[in-house]
Amino acid sequence: MSTVGTAVASVDEALPQMQELASRLWTRSARHHPGQLAWSARYGLDLGHGPVALFRVAGELVGWAWAEADDWLELCVDPAHPDVVDDAAGWFLDRAPAGPLRTMTLETETGVLAGLSRAGFEVEDQPWFTHHHLDLTALRDVPPVPGYTLRHVEPSEHEERAACHRAAWAAPGGTSRVSAAAYAGLMATPPYRHELDWVAVTAEGEMVASCLVWLDPGTGVALVEPVGCAPDHRGRGLAGAVSLAALHAARDAGASLGLVCPRGDDDHPVPGRVYRALGFEPGPRTLTLRFGSPTSGDLSAS
């Protein structure tokens, strides 16, 4: 086995390298996309993210492990170097607290799954996400939705755009970490492009539904993440229409494939149905893995 060099950095420092490796390794069988990493790292302020370990062989980056939380590991490893999974899992376990620890991978990432198994992780019965793909040459037309206008966001509209997201995603009486300041930071994070960030606007000018598409120029894959609609405006086809509008803009910008990753289990079926109605076809699903026994208060393992 080749000698593995390890460096540790903050996610702010490591994010461009993490994205570059995710782009280089992306296939329909791989989990990570540069846009998904940008969203995870930047959707809020003070998220409590831990550090990133970067693994190199002969000077080439071949893997990274991110302690996204003290008890949650994100992992990306070049399939040509499967033994790096052992180093990555070991780094995370050495710094993690006592108690159950978790990570997620696609069922098709067999090298990662094998390495996590060697480290003591076991597949757990948890809600999962199904990766869906859409050939953008077959993209359907954007349907009109009476009473609403579809358009992209302007760079100065971070406050309004953040409010639109909160209206869709915060439970009644709840809060969201997607503040105006956080969204401004997100908009400054590659591969964000404001012309691929689409909203549905009422006649009064209020943003009430949104779809953010992240285009990776290295692969031509356009990730839809996230989509939302304010509760008072649901049931009118806005989520589908704004998603199609954003994907048309992505195709015009050079995208060839659409990607979206909704929940796939029976407890949350509606988003998957919406995307399949737009032409997306389901692919591999995610698996959650746990290290350590669940505690008495660990409801997610019940």
Q: Are residues 160 and 122 in the same domain?
A: no
CA distance linking residue 92 with residue 293, whole number of Å: 17
CA end-to-end distance (rounded Å), the chain: 40
Q: Are residues 45 and 107 in the same domain?
A: yes
Q: Tell me which residue range forms the domain holding 122.
A: 4-129+285-301
pLDDT of residue 2: 67
Give the 3-state secondary structure of residue 37.
helix
Q: Are residues 46 and 153 in the same domain?
A: no
What is the tally of structural domains in the chain? 2
CA distance linking residue 163 with residue 153, whole number of Å: 13
Q: Does the residue 138 lie in any domain?
A: yes
CA distance linking residue 194 with residue 213, whole number of Å: 9
Task: Find the CATH number of the domain harbouring 181.
Answer: 3.40.630.30
Cα–Cα distances (Å) from 111 to 3, 14, 78, 83, 106, in that order, read 18, 23, 9, 8, 11
% helix / strand / coil in the chain, to the nearest 5? Answer: 35, 30, 35
Q: Report yes or no: 72 and 48 within 8 Å, Cβ to Cβ.
A: no
Q: Are residues 139 and 122 in the same domain?
A: no
Q: Are residues 173 and 221 in the same domain?
A: yes
Q: Does the residue 66 lie in any domain?
A: yes
Q: What is the DSSP letter of 283?
A: E
Q: Does the residue 279 lie in any domain?
A: no
Q: Are residues 142 and 98 in the same domain?
A: no
For 242, phi and psi rounded to 5 degrees? -70, -30
Q: Does the residue 280 lie in any domain?
A: no
Q: Are residues 101 and 26 in the same domain?
A: yes
Q: What is the DSSP letter of 172?
A: T
Residue 259 CA, distance from chain mean position: 10
**pLDDT tens digits, one per residue of 221-274:** 999 999 999 999 999 999 999 999 999 999 999 999 999 999 998 899 999 999
Q: Does the residue 37 lie in any domain?
A: yes
Count CA atoms within 13 Å of residue 215 on its CB side: 20
Q: Are residues 120 and 52 in the same domain?
A: yes
Q: Does the residue 277 lie in any domain?
A: no
CA distance linking residue 55 with residue 6, whole number of Å: 5
Q: Does the residue 241 lie in any domain?
A: yes
pLDDT of residue 3: 73
User: Full-prediction pTM beyond 0.85?
Assistant: yes
pLDDT of residue 293: 79
Q: Are residues 54 and 146 in the same domain?
A: no
Q: Does the residue 268 lie in any domain?
A: no
pLDDT of residue 142: 98
158: exposed, middle or buried (Cβ count in 10 Å: 0-12, 13-18, 19+): buried
Q: Are residues 216 and 99 in the same domain?
A: no
Q: What is the full per-residue pLDDT of the chain (302 aa) written as tens digits?
A: 567 899 999 999 999 999 999 999 999 999 999 999 999 999 999 999 999 999 999 999 999 999 999 999 999 999 999 999 999 999 999 999 998 999 999 999 999 999 999 999 999 999 999 999 999 999 999 999 999 999 999 999 999 999 999 999 987 777 799 999 999 999 999 999 999 999 999 999 999 999 999 999 999 999 999 999 999 999 999 999 999 999 999 999 999 999 999 999 889 999 999 999 999 999 999 999 999 976 533 434 32
Task: For 221-262, give the DSSP string.
Answer: EEEEEEEEE-GGGTTSSHHHHHHHHHHHHHHHTT--EEEE--
Place of tokens 């990306």: 76
- Dihedral class, residue 237 (left if φ above 0, else alpha if ψ from -120 to 50, else beta): left
pLDDT of residue 88: 98
CA distance linking residue 184 with residue 163, whole number of Å: 12
pLDDT of residue 174: 74
Q: Are residues 139 and 251 in the same domain?
A: yes
Q: Are residues 64 and 158 in the same domain?
A: no
